[in-house]
Structure 1
């Protein structure tokens, strides 16, 4: 624990989690606020991106100050980096600043940004925001006449019809697609069960 590598990694993860803390707390709540959560996702992405572009000097200063206070050796960033357990002849010739800034700092932040972008991509974000607009518990229901009209609907078919009447099926095409999918599903499973029963005649044990 009394090494520069440990302190650097600890401060790096501390700074990353400080950006994601509000988002994590919001996603763990039982009463989800989709709009607020999407804003926190954008704020988290922006914070991590700014940290990647402009946060290196601040992080290095924090780590160096901690190490000096606790008498931990701080490597000279311009010197060559030596991988523990490898001989100097086989070691990759890179500087300390390249190892800590490129291989650790930038790589870990890129992984975090890539994970957020994959989980909350443009399509998913748009879909969640569209669903929030149709939520009967919308915070702006008192000021939005269309939201109040949607909150009075009881059936899925009524929702699909109302979306067409208000032209929201064009604006929120993904939501309209999800709403209309259940309308084409069979209410009973008798037909499906008969199909699987008929498969036993075609795909029997002998043929398998």
Structure 2
């Protein structure tokens, strides 16, 4: 019923010809509530509670009622619904209890050690893989393939992340190239059809416009090396785990670091050959 109700509400929201504005507004409000965590949580809670009390509910609706059997059924139903004592000390069953475990309640365990800890780990993973530096560079990558390039934003990121790849006069000239390039993107139908930065690089090479927009071409090639450097580094560390194990753990870090650098340089060279 949940999925079907969502489909019906979605149809009401999108149906502009047979529904009024008030009806679409009510449907949208109901749809948003159904998407919330609280609503789904209460649904699961009701499923558990109502499932336990269904037998009792059906029995109490009968006209001919056996009071004795009804009371026994009430007692049995109440017994199945457990109310946990969240203030009781939590003791793990995975290892021998320690004295400090008695200071941890069930509420603390499920709220802090499980719920909060899970979110902390997810946020840490996202922060480590998508920090501000990475997000800026990915934004730069996506903006280069957009229909209209934000020249000010790109020049700011170039100055911030590629100071050694462009001299100050080149950064000024890069801005001028992007202004002209923006106009050409508007008038050139083939250039407007480019959907990703790799296709844009290929287009510049095939049309030899890379010679005209040589600074734009340089920036695109620098951006294209980002996925390669990330992927090759991860593959390098994965390979390292294979040959540096408990039987070969005496290899020095310097030797492994040098081997990893050689491996990455070889991967990048093969990619651009």
* TM-score band w.r.t. shorter chain: 0.3 to 0.5
Please, what TM-score do these two structures have when normalized by structure 2?
A: 0.31
The structure showing larger relative contact order (alpha-carbon pairs under 8 Å, at least 6 residues apart) is 1
Q: Specify the structure having the higher radius of gyration (Cα).
A: 2
Please, what TM-score do these two structures have when normalized by structure 1?
A: 0.39
